[in-house]
Amino acid sequence: PPPGSQKGYYKVSSDPTGGSVLFDGTNYGITPVTITVSTTGTPDHTITVSKSGYQTWSQFYSGNPTADQTISVFATLNPVAQTGNIYVNSNPAGASAILDNGYDQLTTPGTFNAVSTGWHNVQVSKSGYQLYSTSIEVKPGATSNVYASLVPYSQYGSISVSSTPVGASLYMDTIRSEEHTSELQS
């Protein structure tokens, strides 16, 4: 046979299927795919398989298949960790932010990094303020924002006044109390 007329094959498969195949930099479609090469052609080849959401797989092969030989190539595609970030700020700043009931913690303002995609709970707390809690969605490669406007606790107290002699008038903030002091009874 004339030089270059004999053909061999690379059969490229992947798990999962549907990976885009580059053979020596040329796109040959998606897995599974069979690539025809000349048995006397350039003997070194790089096969790359890529798929969205997975790490790119690449392998170097030295030599060519013989006439009518099929070399099976199998690419195991590993998922890329899908993460994003959550930026947390509060008013007042300096609050404690807790991710997913203690998975991670920071002081505001700050960012939870490499958080898995999906819905997460963020709690923001500071002494003297009511707890702020929210659910937020994290998308791959994105930063979600939480802004907690903390509400101070309403604090009430009481004052006990007694006088000698009993019955004195009581003024608080220049307002006269309608009640008078009386003897305490045991």
Question: How far, in Å, CA of 7 to CA of 38, rounded?
Answer: 5
Question: How far, in Å, CA of 13 to CA of 45, rounded?
Answer: 16
- Residue 160's pLDDT band (boundaries 50, 70, 90)? confident
**Spatial CA neighbour of 122 closest among 141, 143, 140, 148:** 148
Question: How far, in Å, CA of 115 to CA of 133, rounded?
Answer: 18
Say if residue 157's pLDDT is above 90: no
What pLDDT is attached to residue 91?
A: 97
pTM for the predicted model, two decimal places: 0.49
Residue 96: exposure state from Cβ atoms within 10 A (0-12, 13-18, ≥19): middle
What pLDDT is attached to residue 85?
A: 96
- Calculate mean pLDDT across residues 124-147: 95
Q: 83 - beta bridge partners?
A: 116
69-87 confidence digits (pLDDT tens): 999 999 999 888 788 999 9
Question: How far, in Å, CA of 105 to CA of 23, rounded?
Answer: 47
Say if residue 124's pLDDT is above 70: yes
79-112 confidence digits (pLDDT tens): 887 889 999 999 999 999 999 999 899 999 999 9
11-34 confidence digits (pLDDT tens): 999 999 999 999 999 999 999 999
Question: How far, in Å, CA of 98 to CA of 107, rounded?
Answer: 9
Question: How far, in Å, CA of 31 to CA of 25, rounded?
Answer: 16
- Residue 183's pLDDT band (boundaries 50, 70, 90)? very low
